[in-house]
Each structure stands twice: as structure tokens, then as C-alpha cells.
Amino acid sequence: MFMRVPQPLHYAEALLEHYTDLARAADGGALLGGFVQAAARLADCELAQLYLLDAGHTSLGLSAECLESLLQPREAETLPADYKDEQLLQYSLCQNRVLSLSELNGSLHDTSFLPASHRPWRALLCLPLLDQRQAVQGLLLCASHAPRELIGFAKSLGLLGTFVHAQLQLLQRLRRPQQHSAPAPVTPCASGYGMIGESPAMRRTYQLIGKVLHSPYTVLVTGETGTGKELVARAIHDSGPRRGARFVVQNCSALPEHLLESELFGYRKGAFTGADRDRQGLFDAADGGTLFLDEIGDMPLSLQAKLLRVLQEGEVRPLGSNDTHRIDVRIVTATHRDLQAMVSAGEFREDLYYRLAQFPIELPPLRQRGEDILELARHFADKACAFLQRDPCNWSVAALDRLAGYAFPGNVRELKGMVERAVLLCETSELLPSHFNLRELPASTEATSNLRERLEQVERALLLDCLRRNGGNRTLAARELGLPRRTLLYRMERLNIHASEL
């Protein structure tokens, strides 16, 4: 097969020119746009796309696109989209692997992320974008109408992408308003391991993460859908001794049983129809690092027995092989289902449950994190504004009141989507109640049994938000709230607001 290899001298000169041009970019939009144009020219491709992950590594947004040498406008529908349905993007992103296809097959590959064209896309290069610490921050994608090999461009474009990410971080820091004093260094537990929230429930979660970071125990993360279980798994990996190795993710409900088994254990050539070569499984891909198995409650019983053997013996046997080999992988699992009830019903192995739940961490629903709601909302709004390259939005008191009093059945994921939509709808500099589409929830015992408790929860969140905004200064906070200082102190004592929360 013909492989187009860049001419060393001319290619090196062109690459250096692009480094110089990108270093001169004055803002994030120009930098990212220049990057995809440079990638398209260097790889001699008709298309280059740049996807960036959000702070929680849960959504992948198209940040820049160059088609036929022209930068494409970014429309609302291209903003943070769930990448989990795009198998090619998910493979490259979650396994941190370069994906190069010299001949795209429409019957085998879903390429809905590529723009429509009268000529079919034939060649594809999907390249993880790494930061200076070699953590995945997004994807660079190059595509051509001609069937050819693009792997020869992976290394140079990857290095250029790392440079661009560092430049983007620098531009964002320069754009932020200067603080009067540098923040004091904090311990990992105080910083929440990259998570947001200082409610008592989240502080307990941080303490549990700190306890298990450097131990070999298997962690089971439970909680309702949308509470951030993958964030906890990433925190355990990124702050633990395995942070230099891979963090691999697999959703156990995303694949049928036979595909999930081959994905986890790998296979040998001839193991089944279509197995034309040896393929490494996710246990091997995560060797030395962490494998996160999401929705473990959906794993078929037959696979549960094989997973138990991996946990007990530290060995895997690929499909079609008679030999086992040892691996060193930390397993972190998560589920929103009640595994104990499933054990009682015979739907989940009891021995596997106790092996997985050596160290359980239960994430609280957002409705139990009262004062965190406004902090999360501000964070998501700031991120959305930065993504859209617009000035930060202000919040009306009425909008904050509506969010603070809502139960959020979809938890943090629902809040994030709600705030991102509100920022898109906001045509002024202020977010209003009309920008938020809050569902009418059926009455429940938890929501209506005690009106005073609900009101105190809202008041506590507002007071904490105001106190944090004023650096814990009670006099300034009382002035902003229009209250006598003595009244503020009384309400703080009544609502159990302590200095440690500020």
C-alpha cells in the first residue's frame, strides 16, 4: 500500500513556520483556527477538526474545523456533544490511541461526525490531543477523499497539538482578571480532586477518596445517574500512584455480551469469524494503570465469573488462547443500580459483589448538596462562556433562587446541560429565570414534607454564596444582603454555617 511520507526538509520548514504563526495568535479562537488550518495543510487533507473535552471529561465539543482550506463557522448544534455514540472517536479518546484508517468502510464505520460531501471520505486520522502532562484533552481529526495512509503525520501533529494546548492555557490565564493575592496552596483533599463542591456530603466524599488513593482496594462508586461517578474514578487514578499510566473506560451496558468479552479480554487470530489478527483487550491496554468499568450492574452473569477470576488471580486469557498471562490493573467500577438487591434476586454474583465493594463510595444526589448548586452553576456558566469566547455572564438573584429551589432529578449532568442552554439563550450579559427550563416535578415526600427545611436549604445556599464571594468577610456580606451584621451572624449560627465552609 502506498504511504505518503512527508519530505523531511520541506515538511520541517513548514512545521516550524506553523509553530511560529501559532505562537503569535492573540486569542483562543485564532489559535484553534490556525491549528486546524495548519493540520490540514501539513497532512494535505481536505478536512481537519479539533474536538476538546470539557472540565469533567464527559462531553466532547467541536472547537474548530477547516474544510477545503476554509475555517467553518461554529453553530449551536456543534457545541458540547456526547461523544459516547461515536465509536471511532470514543476508541481513540478513551484508549488514548492513534487511529489511522486508509480505507473507510461505510458499512463498518459510523462517520456521522464528518461533514456531508458529494465525494466519500476515504482516509481518516484520529489523534488524541495531549497536554504537557500527557493527559488527553481532546482529539485532532484529519480526513481525505483519497484512500491513503496518514499515520506518518501522527507524531509531528501530536507535538504541535501539545504546543497549542499549552498556548491556549496561557491565553486563558492572561485573559482572567488578576487577583489581589495568590491563593494559598491547598492539599488535594481541600481542592476536591478537581471536583466542585464544599457541602458536607462532598467533603465526606473527598475524605473517602483520600483514604483509598494509595491502597490496592477495589473501589465501587455508587449513586444516581448524573452524579459524577466517572469523575471520582478519574480522581482516584490522577491523584494516585498510577497517574503516569493509562486510564481506560468501558461502559458495560454499551456492548452485547460477546463483544464486551472480546473488548475486555482481547482475542487471538482465528478465535471467531472475522478475527483476522490478534487484538489486545482493555485489561492489557490498562496494564499498570486503571480500568474503569461503568454500569457494572449490566454485566452478564457469564462475564461476571470471568471478571472475578481476573480480580482474584490477576490473570487474563484472551479468546481463542489456551494460555493466561498476568496483568497489573486497578479496577474501579460504578453503577446506579442496587447491587445488593440484584444479588438477592440472583441477577448479580454475590462473591463478585463483595470483591468489587471492598471500598464503596456513594455519591450524594445534587438535591442533598444544597449550597453546591450555585457554585456548580457559576462554574458551568463560566466554562460555557469561555467555550463561546464571550464575556462571563452575570446572574440575577431570581435565576439563582430558581436553581437553588429545584430538585434536579438528573443531578449534575442535568444542571450542566441546563446552564449551557441558558448561556446560549442569553442575549444580554445577565442570566434570567426565563433562560432556564425547569421541569415540573411530581410531589414527593422528600420535597414537600417540611417546607421550613426547604426554605432553610435555599437560604443557606444563598448566604454561603454571598460569603464566599466576599472572601468570608461578614460585614461586606451583610451589606450586600441588606442585613444588619448581627442578623447575618444569627442566621449563620441558625443554619450551621461554619468558617471552614468559606
**Is the model's pLDDT at 214 over the cut of 90?**
no
Neighbours of 114 (CB within 10 A): 18
- Relative to beta strand 70-71, strand 60-67 is antiparallel
Check pLDDT > 70 for residue 59: no
Give residue 192's pLDDT band: very low, low, confident or very high (50, 70, 90): low
Q: Which of 24-38, 147-161, 324-338, 480-494 has the lowest mean pLDDT?
A: 480-494
| Residue 185 pLDDT | 37
294 contact partners, CB below 8 Å, separation of at least 6: 229, 230, 249, 250, 251, 252, 253, 333, 334, 335
Using the predicted structure, report yes or no on whether residue 191 has a pLDDT greater than 80.
Answer: no
Q: How far apart are CA 365 and CA 408, in angstroms?
A: 8
The rounded percent of the chain whose pLDDT value lies above 70 is 86
Average pLDDT value for the chain: 83
Please give the full DSSP string across 4-49, using - where no structure is assigned: ----HHHHHHHHHHHHHHHHT--SHHHHHHHHHHHHHHHHT-SEEE
Structure confidence by residue, pLDDT tens digits, 288-318: 999 999 999 999 998 999 999 999 999 999 9
Q: Considering only CA atoms, which of 257, 341, 345, 350 is closest in space to residue 298?
A: 257
Angle at 371 between CA 482 and CA 451, to 5 degrees: 80
The answer, yes or no, to whether residue 444 has pLDDT greater than 90, is: no
CATH second-level architecture of 189-364? 3-Layer(aba) Sandwich (3.40)
Output Rg (C-alpha) for the chain, integer angstroms.
25
Question: Which pLDDT does position 13 carry in this prediction?
Answer: 85
Residue 209 vs residue 438, higher pLDDT: 209
Task: Give SS3 for 477.
Answer: helix
Q: Which residue has the higher pLDDT, 267 or 495?
A: 267
pLDDT at res. 447: 44
Looking at residue 408, its amino acid is F
Weakest-pLDDT range from 42-51, 85-94, 278-287, 416-425:
85-94
Positions of CATH 3.30.450.40 in the chain = 8-174
Closest CA to 429 of 399, 467, 406: 399
Any idea which architecture 8-174 has in CATH?
2-Layer Sandwich (3.30)
Q: Where in the chain is the domain with CATH 3.40.50.300?
A: 189-364
Please check the confidence at residue 351 and state whether its pLDDT lies above 60: yes
Residue 451: what pLDDT? Answer: 62
Higher pLDDT residue, 115 or 184? 115
Give yes or no for residue 172 having a pLDDT over 50.
Answer: yes
Q: Which of 71-85, 109-123, 352-366, 419-433 has the lowest mean pLDDT?
A: 71-85
pLDDT score of 5 more than 60: no
- How confident is the model at residue 227, as a pLDDT? 92
The Cα–Cα gap between 132 and 130 comes to 7
**Model pLDDT for residues 372-383, shown as the tens digit of each residue:** 999 999 999 999
Nearest to 1 by CA among 108, 120, 102: 102
Residue 405 pLDDT? 83
Please tell me whether residue 105 adopts helix, strand or coil conformation.
Answer: coil
Grouping H, G, I as helix, E, B as strand and the rest as coil, residue 438 is coil
pLDDT of res. 76: 37
Predicted confidence (pLDDT) per residue in 107-151, tens digit:
666 777 888 888 888 899 999 988 777 778 889 999 999 998 999
Q: What is the pLDDT of residue 176?
A: 57
Q: How far is CA 215 from CA 33, 209, 218, 230, 286, in A?
A: 44, 10, 9, 19, 18
CB count within 10 Å of CB 287 equals 18
**Sign of torsion over alpha carbons 363, 240, 96, 37:** positive
* 3.40.50.720, 1.10.10.10, 3.40.50.360, 1.10.8.60: CATH of 368-501: 1.10.8.60
What does the pLDDT look like over 23-41, one tens digit per residue? 888 888 889 999 999 999 9
Sorting pLDDT into bands at 50, 70 and 90, what band is 483?
confident
Residue ranges matching CATH 1.10.8.60 in the chain? 368-501
Question: Per-residue pLDDT averaged across 380-392, rounded?
Answer: 89
CA distance 207 to 189: 7
Q: How confident is the model at residue 500 (pLDDT cuts 50, 70, 90)?
A: low
